[in-house]
Structure 1
Amino acid sequence: MLDTTKISEGKLQLTIESVNIDELLRERVEEIRHTTSHRFDLQLRAADPVMADGERIGQVITNLLSNAIKYSPGETTVTVASSSFADGIRVSVQDEGYGIPEGDLHKVFDRFFRVTSNNMDRFPGMGLGLYISAQIIHRHGGTIDVKSQYGQGAVFTFTLPYLFSGQN
């Protein structure tokens, strides 16, 4: 809730440093790996570091990993990928879970939104994780998106520019 208040007041502080996204992804996967029976497939190819707040981007990664686990049956695979492109890096977290109905895709980054179809509301949460994640990525000048077919999992992808402008 504190992050939500800071975001809405425009006071979310960022500590910008050089961040190796592949190392950060490995760290966050290792932290969460011990809490689940899910398998992780790492496809890490983001060669160059980005200028970002490592703690805040780690928060986004942890949220995406936690959601992938929460909304997927046990022992399925979560694929974590990174790649470089001309202006920055791209990170994706793909699960083999329940997926998101097409009509809800445009709302998943809204504050307090939770998918409720097919008893999805039985999972704990306040509907803030993806909202906060989206705000963190946007403050870095990046983008965040989701693709999903209901019943066939979801892929959450975010991008970060190599250079942080500090104007978002």
Structure 2
Amino acid sequence: MDVWGSRRFRIRGAIALAGVAAIAIAMGSCGIRDRSTGAEAVVERFTALIDKKDYDGASRLTSYPAGASATLKQVFDGLAPGKPDYRVTQFIGLDGTTGLFSMTGAWNFGDKRDWKYDLNGTVRKLSVGWRISWDPALIVPQLDAKRTAKLVRTYAQPS
């Protein structure tokens, strides 16, 4: 008998290892597919579209596309030429139909002129799929239907 044991033991071990590997691959591929269409993926796509200033695409991922589109367009126009950078910082799946997320919003307006803030949102599974519950404050803190976001340049008065 060699160091590795009998031939029968090696064959059974190889079969068991192959079975475990097959199960792991199958479960992993299901997880990848679920993430690409699931709630967390919708939130990730939403932030990526905002970063590209694609207000139309981002608004389609919300529960109120018309309102989201108008608000996002106004924010992008009002904060031009700023560059947005939104990142998901936390995602919590509550059940099969609801999730919560936190993200950081940041805008760069040039040389050392940055604005950074934290935001929270909800994603829900609707009849059309996962959608972000629309709220204007999801893009800029304290933004609502009566407020707008606008970059105002101020210059110091000469002395």
Give TM-score scaled by structure 2 length.
0.28
RCO greater where, 1 or 2, for CA within 8 Å and sep 6 or more?
1
Give TM-score scaled by structure 1 length.
0.27
Which has more helix, going by share of residues?
A: 2
* CA radius of gyration, larger in: 2
